[in-house]
Amino acid sequence: MNSFDFLIQQELKKIHSQNRYRFLKEPLGYDFSSNDYLGLSQNEFLKEKLKEGIQIYGCGSSASRLIRGHRKVFEEVESLFADFVNSESSLFLANGYLANLGLLDLLGKFNAKFFCDRLNHASILDGIRLSHKEVRYYKHLDYKGLENLLQKENSNTLKVIVSETIFSMDGDKVDIQKLVELKEKYSCILVLDE
């Protein structure tokens, strides 16, 4: 056994001894520990509509939307959703992780400084890291701590408060009104992950 294999085996033994070894599990229906919160992955209506979509559009986009993967149906869905939420427009992405990566990296291009709840989802933390901009973390749901950080910030950088609305790992709810008040008081941008 070479030294790398030995190191791997030692680490696996350590993980087993600490009862931290994880196994893959088949889903047993939907539950709140998955991303299938509402059980939509097994909804018969949606499964039929997906089959219809495959017959019309095929099994993949063939490229990114900017290259050759755009479909008129994407625009239609985005327009319907914008109307539904009374917004000027909307943009659908493959998943929320990509949305956070893209948005936070983009905001970093404007020389942003981020103010981030310590328990934000990994997609938020990764998006901020990807931006290579400064970040100030505040204790989970500690609005006074956040305000203290904002008060100390006297630079002319774009200040961005980033939070989940309902924290996906433990279900805590953010006080959106309090974040809006801080956003307005300190001239920040507020990014909420819903």
Evaluated on CA atoms 45, 47, 52, 57, the torsion sign reads positive
Confidence of residue 45 (pLDDT cuts 50, 70, 90): very high
* pLDDT, tens digit, 9 for 90 and up, residues 47-88: 999 999 899 988 877 888 888 888 898 999 999 999 999 999
What's the pTM value of the predicted model, to 2 decimals? 0.77
pLDDT tens for 145-170 read 999 999 998 778 899 999 999 998 78
